Structure formats: C-alpha cells, structure tokens
C-alpha cells in the first residue's frame, strides 16, 4: 500500500509537471488577444492546483518518504 | 550552446525538457533509462546530462556514479532531476557525484540558467584539457627530436605507475606518476639542439644549460592546475639523496617521493637504451649500477628494490618490450628522446 502510494505520488507529479510545463510553453507562444490564451491559462492553473494537492497528500504520508527502497525504484512493487 | 543528453523514462517529462531547451539552440539526445544513457554517453559524449533520479533498471543515482567513476566521462556535468525534494535525496546525489539538482516541476528560468552555467564550466574544463594535451604534445615533440630510443616516455610512465602501485600509493599519486612519466623531460623543448643532440661529452657550461630543462619544464606545467601534482616530478627527478643532484641540490626526504621514483626509473631506462655516445647496457648491468647508486647514497634502497622487483616481474610477463617488432607503434606514440642524457653522460 505504501509502495503503491509512493509510486502514484511520483507518477502523478510527472504527468502534472508535463501538463504544466507544456501549457506554459504554448502560452509563451501566443500573443495578447489570442482566443486560446484563456484555455491555456485554465490548463496551467488546473495543473498548478493539482500539483499543490499532490504535495499536500504526500506530506500526509511521511512514513513513505523515509523508505529508501521505494524511493530508489518506485515501480518495484507498483504498477 | 551545447550537446545535452536528457535521460527520463517518462516520455512526457523527457519531451518537456527538450521543448524547453530546443529554443536555446542546444543539440539534444534522449535516453529512457540509466543503462541506455551510459551507452549513449560512451558512443558520443555530451556536454551536459540532465537525468531523472527514479527510473527502472538503473536509477539516475547509479548512472551518475558510473559517469563520475569513468575517467573518460567524469568531467561531463550531471544535473539530477527529482520529483521528490528532501535534503536526504540531495546528499545521495552529491555522493553519486552530481553537479547540480533540479526539482520537478522544473522551472524554465531555473533550468536554462543552470544549463548555461554548467555548459560554461564544461567549456572551461575542455579548454584546460586541451591545454594539457598541448603540453603532452610538447613532451612527445621533445622525444621526436632524438630518435635513438624507443618509447622512453611510455616505458617510464608504465614502470613508474607499476612501482607506485606496488608501494600502495593512492590513485592521485599513480595518476601523477603516469603524467610525470610523459612530461618529466618536457623542459628539453627549451634546450638548444647543439647541446641536446651533441654526440660527445657535454662541457661544464653545456651541462649547466642542460640542467635547466627541469626548471623550464616545471614552468611549462605551472599554469595548469590539473598538472599541479606533476610539477615536483618534472623539477626534481634529477635530485639525489646526497644532495648531488639538480636543480636545487635537495637532500633525503626533501626530494618528493614521486620524483625519486621517476628518477630511478629514468636512470635505469637511460642505461639500458643505446645512445649516440654509448652502447645499451644489459638489464643486469643497469640493476647493478642502481644498487651501486644506493651504496653511494644516491637512491633510497627500498625504492630501488621495489623498482627492480617490478621490472623483473614485468619482464617475465613480457609486458614492455623493446625488441624490434614488438614495440607498439601507435599513431602519435613518438620515438624517444635524449632521455636522461645529462644524467647518463656525467
């Protein structure tokens, strides 16, 4: 269970970081007044909020963070 | 701009990093885990590695440690990227030899700033390495000026490091002996040919000029921090325990140990090599002469003994041969010098 939680935490951060990062890159490529800006900002803000949530959840699982084996290879017993 | 290797098992993360770096004009390669990263690095060494820590098969920490353990790749900066952020993670990363860290989600400005500064560092170390190879080329040029000996520098480096290992010296000392073997006579670049290549005996004045090669050589290595440990070898390999050597007339333990080792190997190699002004002595004769040097208080008995044991055991294995046809002639491996000519002619 603990391993699973760590693996999900890690993978979720990875996915969200990609959504956040690519939305920022796309945003930087748009000019003011571009109708897609609002959508992209929505994606960026949602990813940011989700990353905060993950961080909050992870902080409630302190025992998970101190298990070196899981940290070394989160997929060892997970997905 | 530089060549950057992105290592991440998560395809989206790898792509994100590449999308962030591409507009800066960097050349990009990708690998999906530590093992693949090592293969790519060995095939085409990049200027910088950005690597995820948690990956299947081989983790970023393991791959980083492997990069830093290999002398051919250890100067490539490695940035570890981790989704988790704790000081414990960083300590593990530092232990593995990582040069810097970034946490996920990666901040674009932070990423680009780190990449810029590490690429600058890499260029600097590359230049240093180039400067070192220039000095090495000088040493081989010195060898090339006199073609009467085969591969003197290579043999010197070989035997000096073998003696160092037998004495149980640390790796840094072994590395210094290796370079010292090649560079010990680099200062002869500053000695005129009419003295360096003179077939007959040197006059006192000529010999005084010849002695300068130790000082010139040290000065040539002087500006390179990476050659710092080699300088004492270059300057002091002609010193003798009783103070009769040059350039400083140092006595006993004041002569750096590594310089004493190179000095002993240098004398032996000069004696067993044919020169325009003398025939090559047999190894037995040369060994006897070294032992005579011990009796006269020129060399440390334990060092001479260790060297002779080393020479004997390598001869039995046929490791370094001078027989025609058996000497490896690699491109760039230059035929050798007037060696410790000043020494042998005195």
For the segment B11-49, what is each residue's pLDDT rounded down to a tens digit? 999 999 999 999 999 999 999 999 999 999 999 999 999
Tell me what pLDDT residue B147 has: 61
Tell me what pLDDT residue B328 has: 36
Q: Using one digit for the tens of pLDDT, what is the confidence trace for A58-72?
A: 887 755 444 444 444
Please tell me which residue, B244 or B314, carries the higher pLDDT value: B244
Q: Using one digit for the tens of pLDDT, what is the confidence trace for B65-115?
A: 999 998 788 889 999 998 666 677 778 888 899 998 888 888 889 999 999
DSSP single-letter state for residue B197: T
Tell me what pLDDT residue B196 has: 85
Percent of chain B with pLDDT over 90: 53
Q: Tell me: pLDDT of B300 over 90.
A: yes
Paired tokens of B70: 């290999």
Residue contact B106–A21, C-beta within 8 A? yes
Give the minimum alpha-carbon distance from B216 to chain A in angstroms, rounded to a whole number: 53
Residue contact B16–A75, C-beta within 8 A? no
- Which band of pLDDT confidence, cut at 50, 70 and 90, is reported for residue B344? very low
Q: Give the whole-angstrom CA distance, residue B30 versus residue B53.
A: 15
Paired tokens of B224: 């390179």
Give the minimum alpha-carbon distance from B58 to chain A in angstroms, rounded to a whole number: 9
Q: Taking residues B221-227, what's their average pLDDT?
A: 78
Q: Taking residues B302-309, what's their average pLDDT?
A: 96
Q: Using one digit for the tens of pLDDT, what is the confidence trace for A26-45?
A: 998 899 889 899 999 999 99
Residue contact A72–B56, C-beta within 8 A? no
Residue contact A73–B84, C-beta within 8 A? no
Lowest-pLDDT range of A13-17, B162-166, B250-254, B264-268: A13-17
Please tell me which residue, B143 or B54, carries the higher pLDDT value: B54
Q: Which residues of B touch A14 (CB under 8 A)?
A: 10, 12-13, 83, 104
Q: Tell me: pLDDT of B335 over 60.
A: no
Q: Which residues of A touch B91 (CB under 8 A)?
A: none
Q: Which residues of B touch A15 (CB under 8 A)?
A: 10, 12
- Find the closest chain B residue to A24 by CA distance: B108
CA angle B81–B86–B88, rounded 5-degree value: 100
**Which secondary-structure segment (H or E) carries B266?**
helix B257-271
Lowest-pLDDT range of A53-57, B14-18, B86-90, B281-285: B86-90
Tell me what pLDDT residue B251 has: 96
* Averaged pLDDT score across all residues of chain B: 85
- Which band of pLDDT confidence, cut at 50, 70 and 90, is reported for residue B325? very low
Please tell me which residue, B126 or B44, carries the higher pLDDT value: B44
Percent of chain A with pLDDT over 90: 41
Q: Tell me: pLDDT of A73 over 50.
A: no
Cα B225 to its chain centre, rounded Å, is: 12
Please determine, for the modelled complex, whether the ipTM score is greater than 0.85. no
Tell me what pLDDT residue B130 has: 76
Q: Using a CB cutoff of 8 Å and minimum separation of 24, what contacts does B209-214 make?
A: B210/B341, B210/B342, B211/B238, B211/B246, B211/B247, B211/B342, B212/B187, B212/B247, B213/B185, B213/B187, B213/B188, B213/B342, B214/B187, B214/B238, B214/B246, B214/B247
Which residues of B fall below an 8 Å CB-CB distance to A? 10, 12-13, 15-16, 19-20, 54, 56, 59, 61, 83-84, 86, 89, 104-106, 108
Residue contact B54–A72, C-beta within 8 A? yes
Burial A12-26 (b: 16+ CB within 10 A, else e): bbbbbbbbbbbbbbb
* From B104, B188, B323, B329, active-site residue: B188
Active site residue B188: yes
Tell me the DSSP string of chain A: -HHHHHHHHHHHHHHHHHHHHHHHHHHHTSPTT-THHHHHHHHHHHHHHHHHHHHHHHHT-HHHHT-HHHHH-TTSS--
């Amino acid at each position: 269970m603990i391993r699973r939680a760590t693996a999900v935490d890690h993978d979720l951060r990875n996915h969200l970081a990609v959504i956040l990062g690519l939305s920022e890159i796309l945003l930087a490529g748009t000019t003011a007044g571009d109708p897609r800006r609002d959508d992209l900002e929505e994606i960026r803000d949602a990813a940011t909020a989700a990353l905060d949530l993950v961080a909050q959840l992870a902080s409630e699982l302190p025992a998970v963070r101190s298990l070196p084996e899981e940290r070394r290879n989160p997929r060892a017993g997970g997905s | 701009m530089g060549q950057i290797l992105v290592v991440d098992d998560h395809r989206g993360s790898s792509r994100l990093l590449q999308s962030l770096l591409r507009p800066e004009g960097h050349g990009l390669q990708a690998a999906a885990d530590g093992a693949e990263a090592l293969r790519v690095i060995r095939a085409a060494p990049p200027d910088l590695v950005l690597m995820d820590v948690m990956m299947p098969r081989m983790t970023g920490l393991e791959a980083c440690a492997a990069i830093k353990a290999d002398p051919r790749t250890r100067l490539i900066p490695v940035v570890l990227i981790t989704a988790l952020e704790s000081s414990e993670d960083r300590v593990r990363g530092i232990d593995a030899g990582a040069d810097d860290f970034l946490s996920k989600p990666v901040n674009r400005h932070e990423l680009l700033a780190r990449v810029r500064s590490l690429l600058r560092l890499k260029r600097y170390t590359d230049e240093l390495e180039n400067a070192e190879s220039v000095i090495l080329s000088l040493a081989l040029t010195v060898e090339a000026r006199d073609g009467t000996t085969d591969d003197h520098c290579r043999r010197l480096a070989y035997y000096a490091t073998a003696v160092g290992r037998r004495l149980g010296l640390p790796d840094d000392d072994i590395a210094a002996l290796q370079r010292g073997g090649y560079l010990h006579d680099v200062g002869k670049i500053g000695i005129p040919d009419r003295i360096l290549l003179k077939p007959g005996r040197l006059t006192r004045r000529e010999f005084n000029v010849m002695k300068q090669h130790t000082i010139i050589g040290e000065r040539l290595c002087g500006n390179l921090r990476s050659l710092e440990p080699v300088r004492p070898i270059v300057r002091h390999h002609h010193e003798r325990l009783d103070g009769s050597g040059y350039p400083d007339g140092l006595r006993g333990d004041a002569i750096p140990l590594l310089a004493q080792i190179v000095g002993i190997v240098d004398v032996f190699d000069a004696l067993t090599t044919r020169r325009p002004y003398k025939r090559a002595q047999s190894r037995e004769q040369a060994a006897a002469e070294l032992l005579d040097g011990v009796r006269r208080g020129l060399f440390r008995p334990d060092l001479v003994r260790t060297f002779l044991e080393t020479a004997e055991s390598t001869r039995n294995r046929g490791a370094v041969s001078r027989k025609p046809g058996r000497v490896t002639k690699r491109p760039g491996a230059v035929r050798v010098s007037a060696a410790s000519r000043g020494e042998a002619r005195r």
